[in-house]
Structure 1
Amino acid sequence: MNPFEMVIGIVLIVTIGSILRARYQAKHGIIEDEDYMGNKTQRLAYDADKDRMAQEISDLKERVKVLERIATDNSSANDINRQIEELRSR
């Protein structure tokens, strides 16, 4: 085996290894980050905090809808007070 074939073989092995590693990480939802110092960290793409924050955002959107409706409706003062108290109790 001449040196040129050996270099081609090494490059081929490294390339296949990096492809398999990237495929494994993508399959299991692993994201690799690199900071400005070159330090690599890995994290999962799926996080329980994401679900919690998504739920909180949807709750807040629902409250904003109700508040917009209260502000634009021509309701009586008692009805507005009742709706505001309902929002506070949530």
Structure 2
Amino acid sequence: MNPFEMVVLIVLIGSIASVIRARYGIVRTGRGKEEMFVGNRQNDAEADRLRGEVHQLKDRIAVLERIVTDSDRNRGIALEREIDALRTDKEARQ
């Protein structure tokens, strides 16, 4: 075996090992330690749960905004009526 073939063989073995590690979710954390990566199914389930929670929170915020803006409108109408009542009382006194 000549040196060129040996270099190609070493690179090929390293590449295959990297592909196998990636396939099984093994990640190097540094200094030679290897840990299993959490599978996509668990991450997807957690992401779906969080998306649902965010959707619920957005719905709640929309309801709260509606309550606040509706009550402001009602307060505004009530305030306008009070101002008109004060104007008519003031005009009646004059």
* TM-score using structure 2 length: 0.53
Q: Can you list the C-alpha shifts for 1:20-54, whole angstroms capped at 9, x where unaligned?
A: 2223334x24242232xx12214245244313321
Equivalent of 1:49 in 17, 42, 46: 42
Matches within 5 A, 1:1-90: 5=2, 7-26=3-22, 28-35=23-30, 38-44=31-37, 46-74=39-67
**Number of matched pairs:** 69
The 1:64–1:44 alpha-carbon spacing in structure 2 relative to 1, beyond 3 Å, is same
Identity value in percent: 13
User: What is the alpha-carbon distance in structure 2 between the residues aligned to residue 56 and residue 43 of structure 1?
Assistant: 23
- SS of match in other structure, 1:64: helix
Letter in 2 for 1:64: L
User: What is the alpha-carbon distance in structure 2 between the residues aligned to residue 22 and residue 45 of structure 1?
Assistant: 17
Gaps of 5+ in 1: 77-90
Root mean square deviation of aligned Cα: 2.6
C-alpha contact (below 8 Å) 1:29/1:45 kept by paired residues = no
Deviation at 1:58, TM superposition (A): 1.3
Gaps of 5+ in 2: 72-94
Structure of larger gyration radius: 2
User: What is the alpha-carbon distance in structure 2 between the residues aligned to residue 34 and residue 8 of structure 1?
Assistant: 32
- Following TM superposition, where does structure 1 have runs of at least 4 consecutive aligned residues deviating by more than 3 angstroms? none
* TM-score using structure 1 length: 0.55
Q: Which has the higher helix share?
A: 2
